[in-house]
Amino acid sequence: MADIKKIGLLTAGGDCPGLNAVIRAVTKAALTRGLEVVGIEDGFAGLIYGRMRELDWNAVSSILSQGGTILGSSNRDNPFRFPRKKADGETEFVDVSDRVLDNIAHAGLEVLVCVGGDGTMSMAAQMAEKGVKVMGVPKTIDNDLAATDVTFGFDSALTTATEALDKLHTTAASHHRVMIMETMGRYAGWIALYSGLAGGGDIILLPEMPYDLDSVCRTVERRNSKGKRFSLLVVAEGARPRDGEMVVRKVIKESTDQLRLGGIGQKLADDIESRTGIECRVTVLGHLQRGGSPTAYDRILGTRFGVAAVELLCQGQFNRMVTLKGTEISSAPVSEVAGKLRRVDPDSEIIRAARAVGTSFGV
């Protein structure tokens, strides 16, 4: 057993339901084993600025069902690429990881538990290279982290998206329109795929399968000719036409995720209307997918992940990320997760199942 006495815990990147379940599980599992837990505020920003506080039983009481994170989060504070204003007003990027190491040492932290997505795991891997013992917990509504079958937060976002599509179904049928629902998903279309399949989407467009506009319009017109005078189209924000580009709303250089996507739904609406003359309406779910209480599944998965993280570090297993493979909790080296995405396979069984019930992917 590893002789660990004090661990630091941070939640970084975009928020999602289930973060507090992990915070609660890590804290309670650690306290039960006689460990001290220090909560680091606002992700890696807390390590850069030294913003930390003790987590005890009271601090994590009654937070299991709460959305968001009691520690706060940030997707702008990469210690290896930290933005700093120069005298001329321009922004430069500097490495402040040595400051982070000093703050970790000053706080007496022996292990850093990092809860986050691909960007967080990349930073955790870099911290490990500098000698910090880390443990990763996979979080992202996009479900796109390598080495794990599921990330917590995905099921909650999926439930929100499916409920929205159910509501759009009735208004689409009433007004004989094409209703387009734009979901999150920059490079992986899991939310669009699963919510589209669960909600009976007629067309699902994914980043992994560039679409052909003629194919999309033919599907809409074919449904109309058969008396189905409405269509439900689900599109991931990172979807793009063949030989086209993703729709980028803006670029934030200071962020760890610089591209802000958004607008593919409206582009599709304009294109479909101009080709078919059929009225289209667009609903962009945006941050609704990140908010609210976690589903029962995410509360349980977050709890399992948090407990497993503490068990692994107590066993002396460091620089790993907790994973779910099938129904079993496991782990993988964080270095093997950093910089890698788990994307939808166009030839997978779930795509074949969707095609078998008449779903079009616009290809």
Distance of CA 6 to the CA centre of its chain: 28
Largest alpha-carbon pair distance within the chain?
Answer: 71
Which residue blocks in 137-233 are alpha helix, DSSP H? 154-175, 190-198, 213-225
Distance of CA 156 to the CA centre of its chain: 11
Residue 89 falls in which region: left (phi positive, over 0), alpha (psi -120 to 50) or beta:
left
> What one-letter code names the amino acid at 37?
V
- Identify whether the C-beta of residue 25 lies closer than 8 Å to the C-beta of residue 306: yes
Q: Which of 142, 144, 155, 202 is catalytic?
A: 142
Distance of CA 225 to the CA centre of its chain: 39
Q: Is 271 a catalytic site residue? A: no
Phi then psi for 61, rounded to 5 degrees?
-75, 135
> Residue 182 forms beta bridges with which residues?
235, 284
Phi then psi for 354, rounded to 5 degrees?
-65, -45
- Identify whether the C-beta of residue 97 lies closer than 8 Å to the C-beta of residue 127: yes
d(CA 363, CA 357): 16
Give the residue numbers marked as catalytic. Answer: 142
